[in-house]
Structure 1
Amino acid sequence: MTKDPAAEKPLSWSDPNFSLLPFDLLYFPGGHEKSMQQIIDSGSLHRHIAEYFPQTRKPSRKAVVAICHGVQTISAACLPDGKSVLHDVTSTALPGAMESSIYWLTRPFLGDYYKTYGKGTDNVQTIVKKRLNDPKQYVNRLGPGPFIHEDEKYNYISGRFPPDTALLAERAVELVKEVCQS
């Protein structure tokens, strides 16, 4: 694989020749580190997501999976009408209570590490809920056990935070197998 030209010279999502359309699955990982801003705020990536996401409407061979700040990245992508690609889906993301508690517990020795945009900014849950048609489309569970949510209209699965990752990945693989067999 390392000798493949695509691995040796990967295209950037800002490259005019780049497209997400050839892919059947997009997986958006999370992360709160400040470098996530380049992904969350990327206009060129948002345009690619806006082109791709509507094609995941069931029945479709395409799927999107996201967790934590990855959901925030997708929510920032807008359709031509200005609405988020997530405006009519149900989704989960990093719950505000979890994000705030870890931020305040670690702030004395880690500073703003657990707040991607720093103290006083909205949490992921608030940002995502603002992008939905109705705040009730945000689905949540605060327990520590794994939790993911699968939308009914789109091949879209979302998760909250690291303990959800294994379940999210397993379901993503199952979903790809399901949609590729149909």
Structure 2
Amino acid sequence: MSSKQIGIEDARKRLGDLIDAAQQGETVILTRHGKPAARLTAYHQETTVPATPAQMDLNQAAARAIAIARENRDMSAAEFDYEIKIYGIGGPHGPIGQAVYTVANGHLPPVEPGDQTIDQREANWVELWEALQPELKAYERRCEARQFANWSHAARSLGKRIRYA
């Protein structure tokens, strides 16, 4: 497998050719001001997706759920961790619980009208939520132990974002 570097401006003009190269096994490194900024590689569909929570790596599933919840809340890691420090991980209907639903049912097609898998989706969600409790509680304890800067209402009113101390 070969690799080549190309500036972002040149890549814009040759995107189709670069995608063709990536599909042929070449790795294309996009550079900004001469420094690597991104990598373009061929997309490979995962062939095996865990179908049940029992088949999932729970540490990885917890990390995915936390990342999805952060993204859904449009928060930085520090802001999200601060919220967990203050309010805890919440229940299955909170932000992390909803993200667990996404992780538990990621292998199923999107819900369609008349979908008969609603009960199975609910069962997957509940099973994974319960299985992830040790990992999520450990994450909550790590957040509780963290120190944060700019966490006060006064700092936030000045437009300062919460960050790790």
* TM interval, short-chain normalised: under 0.3
Greater gyration radius: 2
The alignment's TM-score, normalised by the length of structure 1, stands at: 0.25
Taking structure 2 as the reference length, what is the TM-score of the superposition?
0.26
- Greater helix percent: which structure? 2
Q: Which has the higher contact order (CA 8 A, sep 6+)?
A: 1
